[in-house]
Structures are given as structure tokens and as C-alpha cells.
Amino acid sequence: MNRKSSTALLFVSALSFAAVAWATQAISLPFGAWTRASNEPILSSQGSTWESAGTFNPAVILHNGKIVMLYRAQDAAGTSRLGYAESADGIHFTRRSEPVLSPEAEYEKDGGVEDPRLQKFGDTFYLTYTGYNTIVPAKIDGKYWMYWLGTAADNTDQMGLSYSSDLIHWTEATKTPVLPRRPGKFDSRVVEPGPPPILTEQGIVLIYNGADDHLVYRTGVAIFDSHNPLKVLYRSDAPIFSPGKEWEKVGQVPNVVFVEGMVPQKDRWLFYYGGADKYIGIAEADAR
């Protein structure tokens, strides 16, 4: 996939897989098995201008009784902008005719603005993009915490962690990946944060996007200690969601489901993802 990163990770952490395996026996997830809420994309490219090549990788949030979506839209030249759409039922969306964020800064002009993540603190909405970051939705130990993607010298992508007191200035919490790649598994090449985590009694539940050596993107889940965001309590051994539909397998980048948005709705969770870097899909799971 077309990935960028602002931070390089040069080492692999010595994660104790035995300890993680032991912890899984005492941990349950806040959602059940995933299924597609729609067998077809809920948003696709349209027109001949700013969203003509693809619409994918959405962020979502609940606001005034509606689900608001910001999504990555790409034109024929490969430049990305952010589009806006909203929905009352979470599946049928109405979108605006113009982008809500377009490349303006010098660092945005090469490829545009990509892959939004959206979070609300107090009365303020915070948007991260291009750097592929996820912010934990509450302070822990008096700090804000953010999981992010870093690219190592061997061109593998792994997950790091930083903290901040003001949501603007960030300090790296560790010099090694907080969630490293795992050779031979579905996340052997890429380990990238997905939607903002869920804070539960079990810990910080983080859905992430993993890619193998063939760059097939699937969905994984990890749980971190709610008092220590560095400590991994659980990590899925197998993916919980994978490319299955033709439009998830064929597109600008083949064989990709890339989850970035998630909202609770009554007795279920809704998960929004990009399919093959061209479409937006939706999955659902029972709430637990």
C-alpha cells in the first residue's frame, strides 16, 4: 500500500509470546465475530475530479445522533483529499460534493492528505492523517497516548507509542516497537494501528491492520494494560477479518481490508474499512 511514516524504528522488541499466550485465557473481547453488514461497498469512487479514482480508509465518529465519516478520496493523478459523509443508520451515507481537507502545506503536496483518524476530547475534535496514528480516547497516568506506525531500516512497518500532555507535542515512549511484526504470521510485514482503541475493564483494546510478506492486509486485535499502555496483555494469533469479496481483492492495491473507523450502535459494533484501496466497506459484530 502507499504508506508514509515520520518515525523510524530500528529495533525489534523482546516480547514474551509465552506471557501473551498465558494472558489470553483470562481476557475476552468487547465484540463477537465479524460479518459484513453489506456485501457491496457502501461508498465508491464517483465523478471525474477529486474522488474519481477511489474512496477508502474512513474514520467515523458519532455526532448529534448521526455517524459522521471522513474518508480518503483519490483523483486520477493519485492525489488524496478528505471527503465528508454522514448517515443515520450507519450504512447509507450522504456525502458532500467538495472535499473538507485538501493538500496545502508543503509536506502534503506530494501525495495529499491520507488515511484520517478522528477522536474527540472534551468539545474538540482531533484529526490525524498521513502519519497513520491512533489516539487513546482518555488520559492514562495524566498523559494522552498515541499508537502510530513506524518504518524500520529493513522496510518493515511496526507499531510505536508516544505520550503527550497537550495533544500537540509528543514524546516517544519506547525505542522498540510496542507491537512488532511476527515472522510467518498474517502480520509478518506490517503492524499498523486501526481505529481509536476501546477502553474496557480488560484493558486498551486496539484493532490493527496487519500485512504478511505478500502484502495481504488482514485485521488483528491486541489488548494493552490500561495502566501501562506499553504492556501487551493479548494479541490475536490469527486474523479476525480478511479480504473475501472481489472488490476487496481487486482494486488499486489488491487483497486489502484496512480498518480505520469503528462506532458502537445499540447492541452491535460497526467497523468501517477500505477495500483494495478503492472502496469503503462495513462489518458488524455483536456487542459483549
pLDDT range class, residue 28, cuts 50, 70, 90: confident
In terms of CATH architecture, what is 17-286? 5 Propeller (2.115)
Whole-number Å distance between alpha carbons of 81 and 85: 13
Residue-level pLDDT at 64: 92
> pTM of the predicted model, to two decimals?
0.89
Residue-level pLDDT at 9: 29
What mean pLDDT is predicted for residues 254-273? Answer: 96
Q: Strand (E) positions, the chain?
A: 35-36, 54-63, 66-74, 80-87, 94-95, 117-121, 124-128, 133-135, 144-151, 157-164, 171-172, 190-193, 198-199, 204-211, 217-225, 228-235, 257-265, 268-275, 279-286
pLDDT range class, residue 12, cuts 50, 70, 90: very low
Residue-level pLDDT at 249: 98
What mean pLDDT is predicted for residues 84-96? Answer: 97
- Percentage of residues in the chain having pLDDT higher than 90: 79
Residue-level pLDDT at 110: 76
Q: What are 118-158's pLDDT values in tens digits?
A: 999 999 999 988 755 678 988 999 999 999 999 888 888 99
Q: What are 206-227's pLDDT values in tens digits?
A: 999 999 999 999 999 999 999 9
Q: What are 162-173's pLDDT values in tens digits?
A: 999 999 999 999
Give residues with Cβ within 8 angstroms of 185, minimum separation 6.
210, 212, 237
Q: What is the DSSP letter of 239?
A: -
pLDDT range class, residue 107, cuts 50, 70, 90: confident
Q: What are 234-246's pLDDT values in tens digits?
A: 999 999 999 999 9
What mean pLDDT is predicted for residues 62-72? Answer: 95
CA 66 distance to own-chain centroid: 21
- Percentage of residues in the chain having pLDDT higher than 70: 90
In terms of pLDDT, which residue wins out, 105 or 215? Answer: 215
What ranges do the domains of the chain cover?
A: 17-286
Q: What is the mean pLDDT of the chain?
A: 89
